[in-house]
């Protein structure tokens, strides 16, 4: 494509460059925020030391050699002013530790090469060198224990003050937060087993008010051996209490964190375009989901002519959710649903969607990652092309293509197909697809080194072709994986077969297949008994959809399997996934209220941080869930995209966490030194130097090992996406 001046069109490169610059800017904002926290922490120590009359030769941000420095009376320097300062002291016959130069400050303010922390070097006190003692009257060790305790704890106090101030600013301006409304419940999750439902508003957690959806996640992650009690308000207005026992879920992305299996509620506004999601891409995405003509940012106003419901959230705020749409889908019996969208006061746009029959899910593995696959009593649909990206278009793929073969896999299911594509990363692969139900097309694209071709994979539920089912794995401590009903069929059914009929009733897609199985087992379901059905199976030609050698198979279904079959409803997940998460504004009514909210949030985060550490040692929180500097910077850069107030809130949380971590009873951090001062205050003598050295080495090893571990985990998360 050419621009108006005839030069090559560079919009994609400009966009990519702009996104990169924005990411760099966001990371810089987070780094600057960290720098402010470190600066204030060390300023707390410094001001307290000056108050106590302790000499402080250095106030440093970062570690290692000085990048630049400034000293009153000597000015700015590249590198450190200390060599010149000591040389001038010696020229006057002064001692480097206790001497004084007229008109020159005893403190050097320096920025070091490695900006991952900071320190105040006080006369007679160095964390990494317990032998650095001094008998001078203005040294750290010469001051009373109570004064030294104040100096040691001043940094933590400054972090807590910073957090409180940031929280006050945030709540005065108004913080966008996610209301404590349940938007979805995963099948076979702790929440589903306990009876939580979509649309439930969580009012209390263990008797305490629930202010946001994050409260649910935190309570689940930090739960101990006892269940969490949720006080919920149903859509009917009924208030009930439900006990849920959170657990680790190996199928989840965050499988190192305990969870209950619920998601936040969605709002009635579709996704908005930004630099990361351009409008044309979102329009294509909406069209693939069935929302043809809907523009980013439009608002859903009615479902089948009925207006959407609102839910009362924090402090009486009304939040409009998709509960009306979700209920319409559940009660649709598969009939079309009309949705009306608006943009402003005048523009209206209507679309009609058709709910899909809900299928079952079974746990499996995709490489090293746990996932799940769709099936109907073990009958697994074939992989298809749900949508095409640039690489897929260049390869010749089209939306709706059904995969007859991917590499060496004939009639692959979704998981087996993705695995085969990934196995050809960086190499050509042969694809044979069925197009428009009759045309067979052979393609030979090269798989990207990331293991992708350039399309959104889906399942061809609009046919009854059977794919090769992946292996079912055991989850949640089960001794063996569950056996799916289709595994009992003899001869086995799977890849290269097609379901033609159920009890001689013809079927041509998974919707009619499920309906036929429902009717064939209706009486057994009512009597809670088993049933036998007859499937007519057709074998498919190797490279085509033609059916050969049809045969009839008797299939015995248990009462439990029939119960699960009849529990299946209808879903429109592709549509529901196009809406933004519901939000509310947490804003104080005035300065006093902002102060109260800020102090309350500081206390809450303080307690939660200590609880996290406690759960870490008890095994209820896994160490893999911890984040280091790389992970925090990554999360912070994403938070920064949501606005300056969200970034301030994030930094306030980090400031509280830094306060807690700095005051842990670990050698080399403030808490360890404070503990030694407590010992000295009780025994009237300091901890022996040899013990201090051993504890310092232990602290360095502990913190260094933890730093390397969490950094490795952070980088692994970034690399694996």
Q: Are 720 and 255 in contact (CB under 8 A)?
A: no
Among candidates 583, 581, 571, which has minimal Cα distance to 271? 581
pTM for the model stands at 0.70
Query: Mind giving me the DSSP string for 337-362?
Result: EEEEEEETTTEEEEEEE-PEEP-EEE
Instruction: Give the whole-angstrom CA distance, residue 72 versus residue 629.
Output: 33
- H or E element that contains 585: strand 584-586
Instruction: Give the whole-angstrom CA distance, residue 719 versus residue 421.
Output: 19
Of 42, 108, 233, 326, catalytic? 42
In a domain, residue 343? The reply is yes
Q: Say how many Å lie between the first and final Cα of the chain, rounded.
A: 32
Average pLDDT for 646-666: 79
Instruction: Give the whole-angstrom CA distance, residue 389 versus residue 704.
Output: 44
Instruction: Give the whole-angstrom CA distance, residue 438 versus residue 351.
Output: 29
Do both 271 and 351 map to the same domain? yes
**Where does the pLDDT of residue 295 fall: very low under 50, low under 70, confident under 90, or very high at 90 and above?**
very high
Q: Are 205 and 229 in contact (CB under 8 A)?
A: yes
Instruction: Give the whole-angstrom CA distance, residue 325 versus residue 118.
Output: 53
2 has pLDDT over 60: no
Q: Are 621 and 611 in contact (CB under 8 A)?
A: no
**Where does the pLDDT of residue 506 fall: very low under 50, low under 70, confident under 90, or very high at 90 and above?**
very high
Torsion of CA 676, 679, 681, 684, to 10 degrees: -110
**Where does the pLDDT of residue 19 fall: very low under 50, low under 70, confident under 90, or very high at 90 and above?**
very low
The pLDDT of residue 606 is 67
Do both 352 and 422 map to the same domain? no
Average pLDDT for 669-687: 86
Burial of 237 (0-12, 13-18, 19+ CB in 10 A): exposed
The pLDDT of residue 716 is 58
Q: Are 652 and 134 in contact (CB under 8 A)?
A: no
In a domain, residue 272? The reply is yes
Across the chain, what does the average pLDDT equal? Answer: 82
Instruction: Give the whole-angstrom CA distance, residue 231 versus residue 243.
Output: 9
**Where does the pLDDT of residue 593 fall: very low under 50, low under 70, confident under 90, or very high at 90 and above?**
confident
In a domain, residue 532? The reply is no
The pLDDT of residue 4 is 32
The pLDDT of residue 15 is 43
Which of 269-283, 517-531, 703-717 has the least mean pLDDT? 703-717
Do both 332 and 407 map to the same domain? no
Tokens at 64, concatenated:
């290692």
241 has pLDDT over 60: yes
Q: Which of 220-229, 551-560, 635-644 holds the top average pLDDT?
A: 551-560
In a domain, residue 518? The reply is no
Total domains in the chain come to: 2
Within 10 Å of residue 103's Cβ, how many Cβ atoms?
A: 8
CATH code where residue 436 lies: 2.30.42.10
Please identify, among 460, 485, 500, the residue that sits at the C-terminal boundary of a domain: 460
Please identify, among 460, 483, 500, the residue that sits at the C-terminal boundary of a domain: 460
The pLDDT of residue 3 is 33
Please identify, among 547, 581, 615, the residue that sits at the C-terminal boundary of a domain: 581
348 has pLDDT over 60: yes
Examine the residue annotation and report whether 42 is marked as an active-site residue of this protein.
yes
Within 10 Å of residue 415's Cβ, how many Cβ atoms?
A: 23
**586 bridge partner residues:** 175
In a domain, residue 8? The reply is no
Tokens at 477, concatenated:
């401590």
In a domain, residue 308? The reply is yes
Average pLDDT for 452-473: 90
**338 bridge partner residues:** 352
292 has pLDDT over 50: yes
124 has pLDDT over 90: no
Which of 282-296, 502-516, 539-553 has the least mean pLDDT? 539-553
In a domain, residue 15? The reply is no
720 has pLDDT over 60: no
8 has pLDDT over 50: no
Instruction: Give the whole-angstrom CA distance, residue 555 versus residue 524.
Output: 14
The pLDDT of residue 332 is 93
Query: What is the β-pairing status of strands 409-410 and 239-244?
Result: unpaired
**Where does the pLDDT of residue 221 fall: very low under 50, low under 70, confident under 90, or very high at 90 and above?**
confident
**Long-range contacts: 670-677, Cβ < 8 Å, 24+?**
670/152, 670/153, 670/155, 670/156, 672/699, 673/127, 673/152, 674/149, 674/152, 674/153, 677/145, 677/148, 677/149, 677/152
In a domain, residue 413? The reply is yes
Which of 246-260, 470-484, 680-694 has the least mean pLDDT? 246-260
CATH code where residue 341 lies: 2.30.42
Top-confidence residue, 235 or 292? 292
Name the residue range of residue 437's domain. 382-460
The pLDDT of residue 467 is 92
**Where does the pLDDT of residue 12 fall: very low under 50, low under 70, confident under 90, or very high at 90 and above?**
very low
636 has pLDDT over 60: no
Q: Please tell me what DSSP assigns to residue 558.
A: -
Average pLDDT for 104-132: 78
Top-confidence residue, 625 or 495? 495
Tokens at 595, concatenated:
């102060």
Q: Please tell me what DSSP assigns to residue 574.
A: H
714 has pLDDT over 70: no
């Amino acid at each position: 494509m050419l621009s108006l001046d005839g030069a090559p069109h560079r919009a994609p490169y400009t966009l990519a460059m702009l996104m990169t610059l924005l990411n760099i800017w966001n990371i810089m904002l987070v780094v600057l925020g960290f720098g402010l926290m470190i600066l204030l922490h060390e300023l707390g120590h410094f001001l307290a030391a000056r108050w106590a009359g302790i000499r402080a030769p250095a106030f440093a941000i970062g570690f290692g050699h000085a990048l630049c420095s400034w000293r009153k009376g000597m000015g700015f320097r590249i590198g450190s002013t200390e060599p010149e300062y000591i040389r001038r002291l010696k020229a006057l016959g002064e001692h480097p530790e206790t001497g004084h130069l007229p008109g020159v400050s005893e403190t050097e303010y320096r920025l070091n090469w490695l900006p991952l922390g900071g320190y105040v070097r006080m006369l007679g006190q160095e964390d990494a060198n317990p032998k650095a003692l001094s008998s001078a009257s203005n040294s750290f060790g010469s001051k009373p224990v109570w004064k030294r305790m104040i100096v040691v704890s001043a940094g933590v106090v400054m972090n807590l003050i910073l957090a409180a101030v940031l929280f006050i600013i945030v709540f005065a301006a108004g913080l966008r937060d996610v209301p404590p409304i349940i938007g979805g419940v995963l099948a076979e999750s702790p929440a589903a087993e306990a009876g939580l439902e979509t649309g439930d508003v969580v009012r209390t957690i263990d008797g305490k008010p629930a202010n946001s959806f994050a409260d649910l996640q935190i309570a689940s992650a930090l739960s101990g051996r006892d269940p969490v009690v949720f006080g919920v308000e149903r859509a009917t207005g009924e208030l009930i209490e439900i006990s849920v026992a959170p657990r680790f879920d190996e199928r989840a992305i965050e499988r190192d964190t305990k969870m209950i299996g619920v998601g936040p509620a969605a709002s009635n506004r579709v996704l908005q375009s930004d630099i990361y999601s351009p409008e044309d891409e979102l329009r294509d995405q909406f069209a693939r989901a069935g929302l043809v003509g809907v523009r980013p940012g439009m608002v859903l106003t009615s479902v089948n002519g009925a207006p959407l419901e609102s839910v009362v959230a924090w402090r009486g705020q009304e939040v409009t959710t998709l509960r009306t749409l979700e209920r319409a889908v559940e009660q649709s019996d598969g009939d079309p649903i009309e949705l009306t969208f608006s943009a402003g006061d005048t523009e209206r746009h209507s679309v009609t969607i058709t709910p899909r029959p809900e299928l079952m899910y079974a746990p499996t593995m995709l490489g090293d990652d746990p996932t799940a696959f769709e099936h109907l009593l073990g009958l697994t649909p074939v992989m298809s092309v749900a949508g095409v990206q640039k690489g897929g278009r260049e390869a010749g793929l089209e939306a709706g293509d059904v995969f007859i073969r991917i590499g060496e896999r004939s009639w692959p299911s979704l998981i087996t197909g993705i695995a085969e594509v990934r196995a050809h990363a960086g190499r050509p692969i042969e694809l044979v697809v069925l197009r428009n139900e009759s045309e067979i097309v052979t393609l030979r694209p090269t798989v990207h080194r990331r293991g992708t071709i350039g399309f959104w994979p889906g399942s061809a539920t609009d046919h009854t072709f059977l794919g090769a089912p992946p292996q079912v794995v055991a989850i949640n401590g089960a001794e063996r994986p569950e056996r799916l009903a289709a595994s009992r069929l003899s001869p086995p059914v799977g890849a290269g077969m097609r379901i033609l009929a159920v009890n001689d009733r013809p079927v041509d897609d998974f919707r009619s297949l499920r309906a036929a199985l429902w009717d064939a087992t209706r009486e057994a379901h009512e009597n809670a008994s088993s049933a036998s059905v007859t499937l007519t199976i057709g074998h498919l030609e190797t490279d085509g959809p033609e059916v050969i050698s049809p045969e009839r198979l008797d299939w015995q279904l248990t009462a439990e399997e029939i119960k699960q079959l009849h529990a299946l409803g209808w879903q429109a997940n592709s549509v529901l996934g196009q809406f933004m998460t519901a939000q509310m504004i947490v804003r104080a009514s005035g300065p006093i209220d902002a102060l109260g909210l800020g102090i309350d949030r500081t206390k809450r985060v303080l307690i939660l941080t200590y609880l996290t550490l406690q759960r870490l040692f008890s095994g209820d929180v896994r160490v893999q869930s911890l984040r280091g500097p790389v992970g925090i910077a990554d999360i912070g850069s994403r938070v920064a995209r949501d606005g300056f107030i969200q970034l301030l809130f994030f930094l306030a949380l980090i400031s509280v966490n830094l306060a807690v971590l700095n005051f842990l009873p670990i050698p080399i951090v403030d808490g360890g030194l404070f503990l030694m001062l407590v010992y000295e205050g009780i025994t009237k003598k300091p901890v022996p130097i040899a013990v201090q050295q051993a504890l310092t080495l232990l602290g360095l090893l502990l913190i260094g090992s933890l730093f390397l571990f969490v950094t490795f985990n952070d980088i692994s998360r970034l690399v694996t996406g």
